A and B are shown apart, each in its own frame.
Chain A
Amino acid sequence: MAKILAIESSCDETAVAITDDGKLLANVVATQIAVHEKFGGVMPEIASRLHLENITVCLQQALDESKIRLEDLDAIAVTRGPGLIGCLHVGLQAAKTLAMVYDKPLIPVHHLAGHIYANEYIGTLKFPLLCVVVSGGNTELVYMKGHMDFEIIGQTKDDAVGECFDKVARVLGLPYPGGLPIDQHAKLGKHTYNLPHPNAGDGKYDFSYSGLKTAVINLANSLKMKGEAINVDDMARSFQDVAIGMVVDNAMKAAKDYHVVQIVLAGGVSANSYLREQMKRRVEGTGIDLVVPPLWCTTDNAAMIAKVAEHLYERKYFAPLSLGVDPNWKIDEQLTLLK
């Protein structure tokens, strides 16, 4: 094992973490959410500017907290993608500079691999496993035969599930981002609205959310025309049942077919209480182990990047200083990048 410094800057959090033999010594996150809230979403140019303003401040703070000197590190890890290109650049340049100055190995990490491996802070990954990656930008089922071996076996054909939550929240007049408010209203409601279970087509474990979103919008429209009020609690509940139900159904189907011993949740939507509850209920009696990430791991941080880097360090998976970012990097290319 090793002393690793990791940098994450793929979206709207500037983050630096330091681990020593897997132990988290510093986990600094400078969030930009308050700035972007004003605009109702992340503004890439502004996010890039803030990363540059924050980056060395975060590095300094992480060194202070961990009491580790840069010279003593064994490797520098960085999120190479996917993410916003201008934002990724800042983290990459900082990581490359540190690696160059102190002749340390540079480890490129996939952002979603980070979300998956964040679960190692609370448990041990057991293979074969199925990872349910659900966030504002991703809805994927990732099958893993062993460490760092990622195979996408199911994904969304259109919208990501988190995106769908945001749109529906807007129709119901709830704030952005929509995940938490829908979750809260759903707890108060009943499943009274009839919403279709969209068919994702050919892929056995694929998802589709645009149809469900349309159904909610059309239903809201027609109620409005008839002058009937929408029961927000009931609509949130009806929607969430279907949206999360699709994740749970596909995950359980894939878990059975692939004979996995463990299911791991990852990404922002894994904070959803109904998803957590349903998955717990459905794995009961199946012998499948369920790992639910702590809430701090469902948002972006660099601790999760360091976790992936520990595994890559053992494999001596080191990139040259000419490494570039890749805003569309695919997770199954995590290990093939340097081949």
Chain B
Amino acid sequence: MSDMLKGLWAYRGFVLSSIKNEFVTRFARSKLGGFWMILQPLAQVLIYALILSAVLSAKLPGIDSQYAYAIYLTAGFLGWMLFSEIINRCLNLFIEQGNLMKKMKFPKITLPTIVVGSALLNNVMLLLAILGVFAVLGHFPTLQILWLPVLTLAMVSLALGLGLVLGILNVFIRDIGQAVPILLQVAFWFTPIVYPINIIPERLQQLLVLNPIYPIIRGYHDVLVFGQAPHLGQVILIMTVGFLILAFGLFLFRRASAELVDAL
């Protein structure tokens, strides 16, 4: 573990420049550049909002704004985007970087670190854009927004842990790479992001306890929509689960490291 951190520290310059390069090259030849990164999720939110707000806005107690549904939707999206981006990138990370890992010796832990760094950067940009949109809609977040780093940490550890495990297994069983996007879709609809929790039957609401993403998304809602502190107990619980999964992911990463290169 300590040599992983040492390697990471020695390669900090590389990690930072890689994150920067990724950011720059993604939009290198497009006219709108970095705007696309924000425009894509916002467009998605807009579509949902247009179609569903008439049906669902009445169901949102605790906030009066005619744009209540749009605000609720956007807040949940911010959290979900972070989760799905990390999972999706980790899933094919080792396969994509296979040749590099075979031909160059460098701490492999830098690869997922770059993914996380890059996803965090995107997420911050998206957050700033969202806050801008909120301001336009006349919704101003409270100081509770300072909880966001905590929620982000919980989300990142959960996503990175799962992403590492899936990414490693995907090298050996490629079906995983095909199955995960489908499972992500399912998870998206099983998490109250597009709809408020109170529209689903009480009996089914119990099942949401099993969804580890839900408490974090709920935290995003609390902080960004309702201007209240997240449910601390739940956040701590999920953070613990996230750290455990992350620890398992790192353990697996260590054990699999040698065979990972063999199989690529």
Query: Do the two chains bind?
Result: no
Chain B residues close to A by CB (< 8 Å): none
* Interface residues in chain A, defined as those with a beta carbon under 8 Å from any beta carbon in chain B: none
